[in-house]
Amino acid sequence: MRSESQPRLLAVMAHPDDESFGVGGTLALYAQRGVEVYLICATRGEVGDVEDSLLQGYDDVAMLREHELRCAAGILGLKEVYFLDYRDSGMSGSADNRHPKALAAAPLQEVAAHVTAIMRKIRPQVVITFDPYGGYGHPDHIAIQRACADAFHAAGNPQSYADGLDPYQPQKLYYHTFPRGATRMLVRMMPLFGKNPRRFGRNEDIDLVEVASQNFPIHARINVSKALDAKERASACHSSQNSAPGGGFVNWIFRLFSRYEAYMRAYPPVNERIREKDLFEGVSFER
């Protein structure tokens, strides 16, 4: 039986690099504080475009991207990484959405059952995942977010997804959300640099105008200043995903907002304006 006095944090993500580019500061910060930090990664990012030169020594894109994730996990200080072995679904509307093993095509309850089993095994007090829009609308982000939310509430119910493991109810669930101030600034400024905010990213398939229109409340802002170096080094492990267009201007915008990572608290429900500085605020270690 795992000690209830040991703080544990579980991040539930979709692809290799999600753990670094988005919540990397949070994961590294809590690992530095002695928290056991775990990651569920639903796919191996098979659909991501990769330069041929980077594939030397690897059988395929999935093997390369798993290697990149394990490099990042070591730098962030993750205790363990769990893969769910679904396939990357690609962006919305692509043929990859319909692949038989695509995460976005998998039944919600099937995915949630896998996540529930890992929650019961790890017994984290705090769980983090994407916001309901998946950050920028990626089908896999949305799929794993829904499965994680379902699993969070099912894990403590012995009648839900019975798997022979003892039921265990995590105490807090957070949704990571991008700072909308940075996104809206990008939308306004990109046309001045000849860039189309509706065609952002490596493959120009991210609509920043739509991303900026999403509005989730922020209940926790985590100061990750002490972990930024680890986040940057972990992000550098993902060399196959590190050549997004935008140059110095885009990088400057994100650095401007990089000191904090923002979260909506999904559970316990929030009925008033709050601003937490610690995801473990109010967590009981005597349960």
Write down all domains in the chain, each with its CATH number in brackets. 8-267 (3.40.50.10320)
Q: Tell me: the pLDDT tens digits for 81-128?
A: 999 999 999 888 888 899 989 999 999 999 999 999 999 999 999 999
For residues 91 and 96, give the distance between their C-alpha atoms in angstroms, rounded to a whole number.
8
Strands 126-130 and 8-13, by their bridges, are parallel
Rg (CA), the chain: 18
Say whether pLDDT at 247 is over 60: no
The predicted-structure confidence for 139-173, as pLDDT tens digits, reads as follows 999 999 999 999 999 999 999 999 999 999 999 99
Closest by CA to 186, choosing from 133, 92, 251, 259, is: 251
- Cα→Cα distances 210→25, 180, 197, 198, 215, Å: 25, 11, 9, 8, 10
| CA torsion through residues 8, 14, 18, 22, sign | negative
Do 206 and 163 touch, CB atoms closer than 8 A? no
Among 67-76, 117-126, 172-181, whose mean pLDDT is lowest? Answer: 172-181
Residues in CB range of 179: below 8 A, 6 or more apart: 257, 260, 262
CB 254, CB 171: distance < 8 Å: no
Angle between helices 139-154 and 108-122 (to 10 degrees): 60
DSSP-assigned letters across all residues of 168-189: ---SEEEEEE--HHHHHHHHHH
Scored b (16 or more CB within 10 A) or e, 78-91 reads beebbebebbbbbb
Task: Give the relative orientation of helices 180-189 and 247-256 as an angle to the nearest 10 degrees.
Answer: 150
Reply yes or no on whether the pLDDT at 217 is more than 70.
Answer: yes
Handedness of CA 202, 208, 210, 212 (dihedral sign): positive
Long-range contacts of 95-99 (CB under 8 A, 24+ apart): 96/47, 97/139
